[in-house]
């Protein structure tokens, strides 16, 4: 217990802020994905406890389990409770999932007592904002363009969307410095 208290006392602001982002992204994801029957103040404590686990253990399987839990909640809300899978709700849940994963990855790499240069956080935030913004643009284009297409062109919309995703992944991989060997 004392070891945990000493470790907590030595925690630096940078890693603490990143873990806070993990916590808030996971909490938002659970809140957004949960059926509306379960989203109330009486379920706030279980939601906060579930969101705290990946923030406390970012380099464990808890992060993946929390993300699977969020997806499962979204599926239960959509399939069992008959809630509509609106583009806004789906996009927000996807953003929370990505932010949880991305921030947990960064938090796992940072020792709790590391002094982090603010440029590390700024660059990470910029890349994350670029991915979420690009996803938003693609979502808007698909939501606006898809209803105008006739049913016979749906395969073209699917292939076009796939091409856009492949292009975005290629651009993001190149900007992140990932190279083929």
pLDDT tens for each residue of 29-76: 999 999 988 888 888 999 999 999 999 999 999 999 999 999 999 889
- Give the lowest-confidence range in 2-6, 84-88, 114-118: 2-6
DSSP per-residue codes, 64-115: HHHHHHHHHHHHIIIIIS-----HHHHHHHHHHHHHHHHHHHHHHHS-TT--
- Identify whether the C-beta of residue 130 lies closer than 8 Å to the C-beta of residue 28: no
Mean pLDDT of the chain: 84
Question: What is the rounded distance in angstroms from the CA atom of residue 11 to the CA atom of residue 16?
Answer: 7
Q: Which has the closest alpha carbon to 165: 129, 146, 141?
A: 141
pTM of full prediction above 0.75: yes
CB neighbour class for 156 (10 Å; exposed up to 12, middle 13-18, buried from 19): exposed
> What radius of gyration do the chain's Cα atoms show?
19
pLDDT for res 153: 55
């Amino acid at each position: 217990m004392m070891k945990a208290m000493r470790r907590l006392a030595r925690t630096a602001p940078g890693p603490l802020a990143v873990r806070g982002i993990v916590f808030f992204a996971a909490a938002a994801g659970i809140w957004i994905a949960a059926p509306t029957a379960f989203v109330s103040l009486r379920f706030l404590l279980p939601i906060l406890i579930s969101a705290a686990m990946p923030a406390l253990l970012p380099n464990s399987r808890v992060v993946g389990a929390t993300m699977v839990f969020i997806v499962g909640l979204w599926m239960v809300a959509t399939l069992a409770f008959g809630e509509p899978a609106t583009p806004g709700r789906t996009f927000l849940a996807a953003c929370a999932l990505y932010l949880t994963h991305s921030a947990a990855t960064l938090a796992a790499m940072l020792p709790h007592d590391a002094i982090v240069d603010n440029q590390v956080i700024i660059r990470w935030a910029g890349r994350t904002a670029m991915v979420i913004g690009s996803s938003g643009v693609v979502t808007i284009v698909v939501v606006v363009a898809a209803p105008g297409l006739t049913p016979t062109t749906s395969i073209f919309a699917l292939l076009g969307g796939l091409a856009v995703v492949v292009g975005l992944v290629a651009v993001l991989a190149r900007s992140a410095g990932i190279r083929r060997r």
